[in-house]
Chain A
Amino acid sequence: MTTQDNKPLTSNDVQLTNREYKYGFVTNVEVEEFPKGLNEDIIRRLSAVKNEPEFVLEFRLKAYRHWLTMTEPKWAHVAYNDIDYQDLRYYSAPKKKGDGPKSLDEVDKEILDTFNRLGIPLAEQKRLTGVAVDAVFDSVSVGTTHQDVLKEHGVIFCSISEAIREHPELVKKYMGSVVPYKDNYFAALNSAVFTDGSFVYIPKGVRCPLDLSTYFRINAAETGQFERTLIIADEGSFVSYLEGCTAPMRDENQLHAAVVELVAQENAEIKYSTVQNWYAGDKDGVGGIYNFVTKRGICAGAKSKISWTQVETGSAVTWKYPSVILKGDDSVGEFYSVALTNNKMQADTGTKMIHIGRNTRSRIVSKGISADESINSYRGQVKILPSAEGARNHSQCDSLLVGSNCAANTFPYIEVKNKTATVEHEATTSKISAEQVFYLKSRGIDEEGAISLLLNGFCKEVFKELPLEFSVEAVRLLEMKLEGSVG
């Protein structure tokens, strides 16, 4: 590029203004909730409300006791107010009427309406075709669609609470096997107090006939959301899983600390896609979700594959590194990410690829877009252990700056303990230039269209990894977040 092409935009040329967050409404429902505070009694009560077997309560208590010995990590490139863990509520759920709904059509109308407004119709006649949805509202799953079709194929897709009751042997075997409760501060906290989330089991040789999707909605105030998701793909199976997240606009920060564990056996493939749009706070940085998430998958069997694709556009503070442990020989790990920050958002996100098996391969494509006064950091670790003969990794981290008050950082950590391995890392930083915008405008395209073309061009490699209906949604989300106007 000539310097002329590359002239940066000043904030006067093009401003990315924040359209109103359209998911910011609050639903009025009668709730059952716990008092604020965290102690062993709260955990026992939580476990009792959920009718959990003894082994789960023990898991929770061990995690809680370990958590008490830990301190909150401060190494991420983010700054936020201290979280008072005693000032949070650890359980809030819509009040059940009688025995509770027997089918989705009996779910409280207010809640069905909420999901309708979010574009996730749950009622039988209106539900999305081709996607089975588990809808999680604060601390509970309110229902899962298309159960019948999935059952025919032997696929288990339900809330983790239901899985604990109905399939305890699977939960006992796998929960905590990828992310042990001792893993980190937020994983320990989640292990102690997790409320709901999704559970997926794909039997041997089954290609899941539908995309599976969980939609997480935070509604209650002063309540943390601690979801836990566990996906197991048995030998030779395939599943594509999507998650979406939104929350009301509130002035105080809310904590969301999730744990996601994926297990891919021999020849199995898991494709996990996220479109994260938690409330990010206002333009002065007031309010928004603290999104502190531990996501990790293990390619346990040979020739298995795990692929993370994420579009992160929300949350005030994000701390998230979806990772893959490449244990099986010839297994493949992928990470495709678009992280957009504007206003005063802070994101510290990336991945870890741990190569253990022979000829394991990993690919990292990270696209960070920062605007306004936001800070967007990529943090990634590629670790090749001595056993990983012939392992290969390719990482590409591109940052796009919009305006001159934002920041982008790249923190790659590379550790290679086997000489036959190949590790490549590329990084670029660029700006949307006024010349590019003018060029497109002089061809009849308006400013909004011009910026949308430029952003899509920048994110293309990641968007093409998303399931079709999600990639349309992702493009729309970026356009909505970043609307250009001549200042």
Chain B
Amino acid sequence: MLKISDLKAKVADTEKEILRGLDLVVNEGEVHAIMGPNGSGKSTLSKILAGHPDYEVTGGTVNLDVNFRARNLLEMEPEERARNGVFLAYQYPVEIPGVSNAEFLRASFNAICKAQGADEMDPLEFDDFLKTKLKFLDMSESFINRAVNVDFSGGEKKRNEILQMAVLKPRLAILDETDSGLDVDSLRIVSEGVNKLRSKDNAIVLITHYQRILNHIVPDHVHVLYKGKIIKSGDKTLALEIEENGYDRIIREHNQA
């Protein structure tokens, strides 16, 4: 579904390269965890996949299968990526004062429906639809009328991202440090939500610093990102190894090779 080849990128208007030849293939139904120490380029990767204007791609390709044909993701505007099933759950969800969750999500849902040729929903229809999603994720109906992320606790913000994911049903969801800043209970609730949304048709890329979220969302593949490259890949046991020995040993092995 997603094929990243030799991706190189930097922060726009700077010289420092952050991604230095990254390769990754993600297929339908898979969950990939991307782990790495601070500064390895994890968040940069997620921002680039979503099309953030602060980053500039300097080399390589990213292809996304759309209707069984590979399309160049990097040429698409951020909204076009979303309309083609790409979703980024933010590490720091943004506050939108005065705009209710329902208004925001309906605008988003309808924009995507319209692009995909599906019927749009009116406000009443959408509220009912939103309620079923809130129930599915065991979230309070108060989320409907609250302004997007305004005065939300850290945990509520992350749950709100997962609510958006449930509403928009992306084919490719990138979760950027969704576990950061969550207490044990919030982590469990958010993870359960993500697990409910896993299916054989969609794929999830989980970006994380720590192994603990992987106890809840069990990955098919684990990759270690270091200095803008994937230096080691494996199955879920790789995450446990990192938990036990830290990144140092893997980095040492990599440097010796």
Residues of A within 8 A of B (CB): 1-2, 4-5, 13, 433-436, 438-447, 449, 453-454, 456-461
Closest to B150 in A: A1
Smallest distance from the beta carbon of A460 to chain B beta carbons, Å?
Answer: 5
Interface range, B side: 20 to 34
**CB distance A443 to B108 under 8 Å?**
yes
Chain B residues at the A interface, C-beta cutoff of 8 Å: 50-53, 77-79, 81-83, 88, 90, 92-99, 103-104, 107-108, 111-112, 115, 147, 164, 168
What are the residues of chain A within 8 A of B168 when measuring CB–CB?
A: 443-444
**Alpha-carbon separation in the docked complex, A456 to B83 (Å):** 23
A interface: dominant SS: helix
Query: Is B96 in contact with A446, judged by CB distance below 8 angstroms?
Result: no
Asked whether, in the complex, the Cβ of A453 is within 8 Å of the Cβ of B92, the reply is no
**Which residues of B are found within 8 Å of A449, using beta-carbon distances?**
107, 111
The residue from B77, B96, B115 contacting A453, defined by CB atoms under 8 A apart: B96
Q: What residues of chain B lie closer than 8 Å to A4, measured between beta carbons? A: 92
Contact A445 B107 (CB under 8 A): yes
Q: Bound state CA distance, A277 and B120, in angstroms?
A: 33
Closest chain-B Cβ to A190's Cβ sits at a distance in Å of 37
Contacts of B79 in A (CB 8 A): 441-447
Q: Given the interface contacts A439-B90, A443-B108, does A457 sit within 8 Å of B53 by beta carbon?
A: no
Given contacts A4-B92, A436-B96, A441-B79, contact A446 B111 (CB under 8 A): yes
Q: Is the CB of B108 within 8 A of A435?
A: no
Q: Determine the chain B residues whose CB is within 8 A of the CB of A5 once the complex forms.
A: 92, 94-95
Q: Establish whether residues A444 and B111, one from each chain, have CB atoms under 8 Å apart when the complex forms.
A: yes
Q: Which residues of A contact B88 (CB under 8 A)?
A: 442
8 new A-B contacts at CB < 8 Å, known A440-B108, A442-B78, A453-B104 = A435-B94, A438-B78, A438-B94, A441-B77, A442-B50, A442-B88, A445-B107, A456-B99
Which single member of B90, B92, B93, B115 contacts A444 (CB below 8 Å)? B115
Contact of B97 among A434, A443, A446, A458 (CB under 8 A): A458
- Docked CA distance A460–B100 (Å): 11
Could you say which of B98, B103, B115, B164 contacts A443, with CB atoms under 8 Å apart?
B164
Nearest CB in chain A: distance from B17 CB, A = 22
Q: Are A1 and B95 in contact, CB atoms less than 8 angstroms apart? A: yes
Contact status A457-B77, CB under 8 Å: no
B26 to chain A, nearest CB (A): 18
A-B contact pairs, 13 of them (CB 8 A): A5-B94, A438-B94, A439-B96, A440-B104, A441-B82, A443-B79, A443-B82, A443-B111, A444-B82, A446-B77, A447-B79, A457-B147, A460-B98
* Chain B residues whose C-beta falls within 8 Å of the C-beta of A460 in the assembled complex: 98
Query: CA–CA, A96 to B82, complex, Å?
Result: 60
Give the chain A neighbours of B112 by CB distance below 8 A.
444
Choose from A13, A436, A445 the contact partner of B94 (Cβ within 8 Å): A436
| Shortest distance between the CB of B13 and any CB in chain A (Å) | 11
Residues of chain B with a CB closer than 8 A to A453's CB: 96, 99, 103-104, 107
CB distance from A160 to the nearest CB of B (A): 39
